Every structure is written in structure tokens, then in C-alpha cells.
């Protein structure tokens, strides 16, 4: 039986996005990025503007969507500081397919990326680090434009200096996948915070997502059976994401010779999420990394 259901797929995907708001009537701004930063319209409702950009992307109105996302990228921090974090998460996940579909969008965000790198380099000449510009360069290069090698080269070099390691400690979460996949787990392990802090944040985030899902997954489609399957899909996704996060941190701590923290993270996380699915997901992640041993089997009861 074909289990694919477009309503179910859409509902699950929507849980990862901000709620759509009313369509904005503001005209699309110019692609002059410097002008946008200098003359941001403080009367703009950022939530509505974001909803408009998403609608333009959904309807394949790529030129308008490009203008809207460029404007949002350049102004959202100033106009709505509380939404600054979505630039590197929700927004970048929307910008990436736009870039892939529309060459002018790639050109526009490549320009923004290059400007961010210039700012980073100018700060470095003064032995300073512009962390916002660095984050923008990393996110746009690695997550949006698919140009990860320069970011990896930066991380490898940064790991060799005290100032660079301090920057990695602030940016590691943006490139943890890149470091692990490229065989640089030790760099990630050195950049991670204390094991106690890491696992506490991971558990808090996991619980927060579950609470959000309980509120949002009351009635989705009106079909009780379909809604229950969506709830189960969401639950499984939450558990496996948490398991991957814990396993990756464990791998990284071990690679950086932070063994006590590696085992503490795994132990505390396993106490917090006592689920067979979690235990299996963690073990398979560790097995694929080639580090699974009897102690893992015993701890995970796998």
C-alpha cells in the first residue's frame, strides 16, 4: 500500500516553519543591498513580510521572492531582533531552494556572502572577530550556496589559534555536520561547551519541541486516523533528531579526548529519553562512525 499522503507530508513539514501570517501589501524593495541596510522601513511588519516572501516562493515568483528575502536578510536583525535566529534556520532553508531555482537569487546572495567575508577579513586585520558577519558568511556559504570548502578550510585554520578556537566555540553549531562528515570530529569536540551544559541544552530543546507539538498537533486534518499518524511521525522525528545530536556530540567529545564528558552526555541523555527508538538510533549512529563498543551496548541496553 502506498503510504504517501500529500496532506500528511505538508502537515508535518509545516511544523518546522513559522506560522504564516496575513499577506503584506508592501512593494518589493530594490536589490541594492547597501541601500536596503541604510534605509530600512521601520514601519514594515516583519512577520507579514516573511509570509509574503514565502508565498512568492511557493508560487514560483522567483524575482519577487529574491527581492523579499534579500530585504529580510539585510534588515530583520535591526527591525525584529527576536527573529534574528531564523536567518540561519528557517529562512536559509527557504533561500536555498530559491537559489537553486533562480540564478539571479544565487547572484544576489553570493554578493551578500562576499560582503560578509570582506567584513570578516577587515576585522581580522585589526585582530578582531565580527561574529555576526562570520556567521552570515558561514551560513550562506555552507547552507545556502553549497560552497562548503572555504568554510572547512577556515575551521581547520581557526582551530590552530586561541582566537580562532573562540570563534569556533560560537559558531560550531552551524558546521557540526561539515566537521563530522569531513573527518574533523576533534575540531568539533574542542569547540563544544562543557558536557553538562551541552546535554542540559539538548534535553531542554527536546522537551520544548515536544511541548510545542502537543499544542500544535491537536487537530490537523479532521481525519482522526491521519492526525494520529502525523503525531507519531512528529514524535519519531523528534526522538531521532535528539538521538543524532547526542551521538554526534559523543563522537566529537571522544575525538577531542574529552572522554568523561562524552560518556556523561550519553548517560544523561539516555536517562532523559528512555525510548527503544532513541537507543537504536544512537547505537546505529555510533556503529556507522566505527566507534561502537561493548560499553555502548551495555549503556544503551541495545
pLDDT tens, position by position, 234-257: 889 999 999 999 999 999 999 999
Write down the pLDDT at residue 7.
41
* Whether pLDDT at 113 is above 60: yes
* Whether pLDDT at 219 is above 70: no
- With beta carbons less than 8 A apart as the criterion, state whether 109 and 140 touch: yes
Write down the pLDDT at residue 178.
97
* Whether pLDDT at 14 is above 50: no
Alpha-carbon distance 296 to 264, whole Å?
Answer: 12
* All residues at 6 or more sequence positions from 233 whose CB lies less than 8 Å from its CB, including other chains: 8, 12
- Greater confidence (285 vs 226) lies with 285
Write 96-100 long-range contacts (CB < 8 A, 24+). 96/143, 96/144, 97/57, 98/57, 98/62, 98/65, 98/66, 98/69, 99/144, 99/145
- With beta carbons less than 8 A apart as the criterion, state whether 270 and 279 touch: yes
Write down the pLDDT at residue 217.
65
Grid coordinates representing 223 are 481525519
Domain count, the chain: 2
Of 56, 49, 60, which Cα lies nearest the Cα of 24?
49
For 3, the 3-state DSSP assignment is coil
Task: Evaluate whether residue 166 is within a structural domain.
Answer: no
Specify whether 52 is located in the same domain as 120.
yes
Grid coordinates representing 221 are 486534518
Task: Evaluate whether residue 138 is within a structural domain.
Answer: yes
Grid coordinates representing 163 are 582566537
Specify whether 140 is located in the same domain as 202.
no
Output phi, psi for 261, to 5 deg.
Answer: -70, -35
Task: Evaluate whether residue 82 is within a structural domain.
Answer: yes
Specify whether 134 is located in the same domain as 228.
no
Specify whether 124 is located in the same domain as 201.
no
Write down the pLDDT at residue 186.
98
- Domain stops at, among 90, 121, 147: 147
Task: Evaluate whether residue 1 is within a structural domain.
Answer: no
Specify whether 55 is located in the same domain as 115.
yes
For 41, the 3-state DSSP assignment is coil
Task: Evaluate whether residue 169 is within a structural domain.
Answer: no
Percent of the chain with pLDDT over 90: 69
Report which DSSP code applies to 86.
G
Specify whether 26 is located in the same domain as 108.
yes
Write down the pLDDT at residue 221.
63
- Domain stops at, among 147, 176, 204: 147
Specify whether 108 is located in the same domain as 47.
yes
For cell 516573511, name the residue. 50
Write down the pLDDT at residue 24.
28
pLDDT in tens, 149-208: 999 999 999 999 999 999 999 999 999 999 999 999 999 999 999 999 999 999 999 999
Specify whether 209 is located in the same domain as 292.
yes
Write down the pLDDT at residue 85.
86
Task: Evaluate whether residue 223 is within a structural domain.
Answer: yes
- Domain stops at, among 129, 147, 165: 147
Task: Evaluate whether residue 158 is within a structural domain.
Answer: no
Task: Evaluate whether residue 184 is within a structural domain.
Answer: no
Write down the pLDDT at residue 67.
97
- Greater confidence (8 vs 196) lies with 196
pLDDT in tens, 56-74: 999 999 999 999 999 999 9
Which domain, by its residues, includes 262? 195-300
Write down the pLDDT at residue 89.
87
Write down the pLDDT at residue 218.
61
Specify whether 119 is located in the same domain as 212.
no
- With beta carbons less than 8 A apart as the criterion, state whether 33 and 58 touch: no
Of 229, 237, 238, which Cα lies nearest the Cα of 272?
238
Write down the pLDDT at residue 10.
41
Specify whether 84 is located in the same domain as 141.
yes
How many other C-beta atoms can be found within 10 angstroms of the C-beta atom of residue 45? 15
Specify whether 140 is located in the same domain as 260.
no
pLDDT in tens, 21-55: 222 223 333 344 444 444 456 678 899 999 999 99
* Interior/surface letters 96-107, b for 16+ CB within 10 angstroms, e for the rest: bebbeebeebbe
From the number of C-beta atoms within 10 Å of its C-beta (0-12, 13-18, 19+), residue 215 rates as exposed
Task: Read off the pLDDT band of 12 (50, 70, 90).
Answer: very low
Residues in the chain, total: 302
pTM of the model: 0.81
Of 280, 271, 268, 275, which Cα lies nearest the Cα of 244?
280
Specify whether 102 is located in the same domain as 36.
yes
* Whether pLDDT at 18 is above 70: no
Write down the pLDDT at residue 302.
84
Write down the pLDDT at residue 21.
28
Grid coordinates representing 197 are 551544559
Amino acid at each position: 500500500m502506498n503510504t504517501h499522503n500529500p496532506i500528511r507530508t505538508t502537515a508535518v513539514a509545516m511544523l518546522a516553519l513559522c506560522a504564516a501570517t496575513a499577506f503584506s501589501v508592501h512593494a518589493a524593495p530594490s536589490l541594492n543591498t547597501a541601500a536596503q541596510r541604510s534605509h530600512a522601513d521601520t514601519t514594515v511588519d516583519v512577520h507579514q513580510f516573511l509570509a509574503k516572501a514565502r508565498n512568492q516562493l511557493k508560487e514560483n515568483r522567483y524575482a519577487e521572492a529574491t527581492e523579499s528575502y534579500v530585504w529580510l536578510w539585510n534588515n530583520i536583525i535591526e527591525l525584529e531582533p527576536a527573529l534574528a535566529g531564523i536567518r540561519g534556520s528557517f529562512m536559509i532553508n527557504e533561500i536555498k531552494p530559491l537559489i537553486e531555482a533562480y540564478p539571479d537569487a544565487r547572484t544576489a546572495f553570493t554578493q551578500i556572502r562576499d560582503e560578509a567575508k570582506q567584513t570578516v577579513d577587515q576585522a581580522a586585520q585589526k585582530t578582531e572577530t565580527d561574529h555576526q558577519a562570520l556567521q552570515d558568511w558561514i551560513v550562506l556559504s555552507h547552507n545556502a550556496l553549497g560552497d562548503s570548502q572555504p568554510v572547512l578550510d577556515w575551521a581547520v585554520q581557526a582551530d590552530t589559534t586561541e582566537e580562532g578556537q573562540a570563534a569556533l566555540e560560537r559558531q560550531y553549531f552551524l558546521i557540526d555536520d561539515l566537521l563530522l562528515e569531513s573527518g574533523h570530529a576533534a575540531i568539533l569536540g574542542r569547540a563544544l561547551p562543557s558536557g553538562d551544559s551541552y546535554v542540559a541544552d539538548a534535553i531542554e530543546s527536546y522537551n520544548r519541541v515536544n511541548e510545542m507539538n502537543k499544542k500544535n498537533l491537536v487537530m490537523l486534518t479532521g481525519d482522526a486516523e491521519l492526525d494520529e499518524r502525523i503525531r507519531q511521525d512528529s514524535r519519531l522525528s523528534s526522538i531521532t533528531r535528539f538521538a543524532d545530536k547526542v551521538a554526534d556530540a559523543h563522537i566529537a567529545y571522544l575525538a577531542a579526548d574529552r572522554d568523561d564528558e562524552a560518556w556523561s552526555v550519553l548517560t544523561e541523555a539516555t536517562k532523559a529519553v528512555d525510548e527503544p527508538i532513541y537507543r537504536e538510533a544512537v547505537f546505529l549512529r555510533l556503529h556507522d562512525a566505527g566507534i561502537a563498543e561493548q560499553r555502548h551496548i551495555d549503556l544503551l541496553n541495545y
